Structures are given as structure tokens and as C-alpha cells.
């Protein structure tokens, strides 16, 4: 991985992370739009589903059958398998990228530095703060209006903690993902605004 960047591990981590996310960007934008559309359609069913839950609260089997019947009458699947398939497609790519970063860090034995970071194999608070900011911005840029505030902060907090726990090199990977995630969120907002007929 590093031979493409003159042996500079940090540049290779950022470049390959960005490349992987950018290659999958079109797919992830479509999946996000599809998931949001599914959520909007399911939201319309909530009053009817609440009535089913109340009416059949003593009979779980019947409640499940009636719930599925509500979805079927409206032509909505309870779980959108297309979204699941897209997520499953991306998982091996990101696992492979994570393993490549981890392997490169092990092979370099932490001898690589980057900006102020003297050892990419060790955690760095500065990188963790950058990760927190970029992943937080990514969450904000892709947030729906009805999304609770704590769900926006959670990915940023988890990513920053992972960055502080694992390594600065892994933090660079998370930061690159956060940057592309911000772009993805903006693209989703723009596409939703167009589909709803709002000015962009």
C-alpha cells in the first residue's frame, strides 16, 4: 500500500480510505435515499400499527399477522432487503481496508510519523478530535429533520473513542471516512430537496 506514496504510510491510509469511500459513494447515496423513503412510508403507518398493537396486545401471534397485513396492504416491506444487501456488499470492503491499515501499521512498527503525530501506531488525541469533528459534521450534513440530537453525536463520540483507543493511523482512516460522509450527506440533502421540489 505504501509503495504508491513513496513509503509514506499516512498518505497511503488517507488516499486508500478516500478512494474506497468515493468508489462506493453513488451506492451509499442511493441506499440512504432509499432508507429515508422507506422510513417516511413506514411513519405513515404508525397510527394504524398502534391500533393493531393495542387491539391484539394479548395475542402476540395475531398481532404479528395483523402487523404484516398492514404492511402488505400498503405495499411496504417491514424490512427493505435492498438496503441490507447494499450494506452487506460494503462490509467486506471496509473490513479489508481496516485490515490493510492495521497490517501496514504493524509492518512499519510505528516508525512512521505524520504532521505532529510521532507514531501512527499509537493513539493521538489531536487525530481523535479531528475524527470527532469530521464524523460529527458528517452526521449533521446527512441528518433528517426528525432525527433526535443524541443520534447525531453518537457516531462522532464512538469514532473518537475508537481513534483514541486504537491508533492514529486508524484515526486517519476514520477522518477520511468522515470527510466523504459529509459529502454524502450533502448529496443526499440535495437529492431529497430536488425530489420534494424545493430549491437547491
Reply yes or no on whether the pLDDT at 98 is more than 50.
yes
Q: What's residue 110's pLDDT? A: 52
Q: What is the 3-state secondary structure (H, E, C) of 68-88?
A: HHHHHHHCCCCCCHHHHHHHH
Output the pLDDT for position 200: 45
Spell 67-83 as b/e; 16+ CB within 10 A means b: beeebeeeeeeeebeee
Q: What is the pLDDT of residues 154-196, one digit of tens each?
A: 777 778 887 778 777 778 888 887 888 888 887 877 877 777 7
- 168-195 vs 81-108: helix axis angle to the nearest 10? 150
Q: Using a cut of 0.85, tell me whether the model's pTM lies above it.
A: no
Domain ranges of the chain: 2-195
Exposure of 21 by Cβ count < 10 A (0-12 exposed, 13-18 middle, 19+ buried)?
buried
Neighbouring-strand partners of residue 114? 117
Over range 49-59, report the average pLDDT. Answer: 88
pLDDT at 29: 80
Whether 72 has a pLDDT exceeding 60, the answer reads yes
Q: Give the pLDDT of residue 147.
A: 62
Amino acid at each position: 500500500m505504501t509503495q504508491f506514496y513513496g513509503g509514506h504510510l499516512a498518505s497511503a491510509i488517507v488516499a486508500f480510505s478516500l478512494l474506497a469511500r468515493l468508489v462506493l459513494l453513488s451506492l451509499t447515496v442511493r441506499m440512504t435515499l432509499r432508507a429515508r423513503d422507506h422510513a417516511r412510508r413506514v411513519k405513515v403507518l404508525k397510527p394504524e400499527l398502534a391500533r393493531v398493537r393495542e387491539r391484539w396486545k394479548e395475542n402476540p401471534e395475531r398481532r404479528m399477522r395483523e402487523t404484516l397485513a398492514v404492511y402488505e396492504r400498503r405495499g411496504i416491506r417491514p424490512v427493505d432487503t435492498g438496503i441490507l444487501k447494499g450494506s452487506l456488499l460494503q462490509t467486506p470492503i471496509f473490513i479489508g481496508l481496516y485490515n490493510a491499515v492495521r497490517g501496514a501499521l504493524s509492518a512499519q512498527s510505528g516508525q512512521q510519523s505524520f504532521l505532529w503525530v510521532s507514531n501512527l501506531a499509537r493513539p493521538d488525541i489531536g487525530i481523535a478530535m479531528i475524527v470527532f469533528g469530521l464524523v460529527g459534521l458528517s452526521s449533521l450534513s446527512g441528518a433528517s429533520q426528525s432525527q433526535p440530537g443524541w443520534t447525531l453525536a453518537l457516531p462522532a463520540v464512538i469514532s473518537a473513542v475508537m481513534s483514541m483507543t486504537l491508533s492514529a493511523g486508524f484515526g486517519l482512516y476514520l477522518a477520511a471516512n468522515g470527510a466523504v460522509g459529509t459529502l454524502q450527506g450533502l448529496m443526499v440533502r440535495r437529492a431529497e430537496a430536488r425530489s420534494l421540489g424545493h430549491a437547491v
